Amino acid sequence: MKEVLTQSDMFGLFLSCLTYAIGLKIKQKWNTPIANPLLIAIALCILVLTVFDIPYADYNQGASGITLLLVPATAMLGISIYKELETLKKNLLPVLVGCIVGSVVSVICSIVFCRLFGLTDELVATMIPRAATSPIAMEVAENLGGIVPVTVAVVIFSGIVGAVTVPIFIQILRWKNRVATGVAIGVSSSAAGTSKAIEIGEVEGAMSGLAVGITGLLTVVIALFL
């Protein structure tokens, strides 16, 4: 009976949606950065697969369909950017500089730390596009000879860490510049962090969405020289 359910094309999709819905409920009840719906969904999926000894391939058979939505979901960030077009025009240069510096530093840090820990060239290639959004990071990692599933996991992990820690850093450091906050989130935390930026404010969400796109393009360009 278990095999019939888990090997269904709908199982992975159903489990992903169910666990994310649970994450949203927990987020609504305990409004804390740690209660991130995506983080909760990932943890619950891992728990279910482990406890019931369900092969990842069975889960991914249906869940992989969600990957198809990554590109249009990322493109939809353009709506918030359009709404804050005037703000972008006033801050175009610092936004571009911030994205360029953030992208270069991200790639350099990935390479340096991978070498310091003695990782293989394959893992170095896997880590290089970690600051880009998942659709772009997957293509870059594949072209560089990296492990694409690991790249996706790293990108998601980085995004979740950003989404959880950004509100805390905003309070501690008392950030006032909304544009800088949005750019910082987008460069470091990709789409997962941008979802949190949208919650913080429209300006932060728009700038973060723009930074995600620019960072992805810059990562592709940088990868051409590696």
Give me the tens of pLDDT residue by residue for the chain, a chain 226 residues long. Answer: 555 555 566 777 888 889 989 988 888 888 776 777 888 888 898 898 888 888 877 777 766 667 667 667 667 767 777 777 888 888 889 889 998 998 899 889 989 998 999 888 898 889 988 888 887 888 888 888 888 888 888 888 888 888 778 777 877 877 788 888 888 888 888 777 787 788 788 888 888 888 888 888 888 888 888 7
Query: What is the value of pTM for the model shown?
Result: 0.75
Rounded Cα distance, 163 and 3, in Å = 36
Structural contact between residues 61 and 11, judged by C-beta atoms closer than 8 angstroms = yes
What DSSP string describes 170-213? HHHHT---HHHHHHHHHHHHHHHHHHHHHHH-HHHHHHHHHHHH
Hey, what's the torsion of the CAs at 191, 197, 198, 201, to 10 degrees? -160
Question: Alpha-carbon torsion 164, 170, 172, 173, what sign?
Answer: positive
Dist CA 91 CA 95 (whole Å): 6
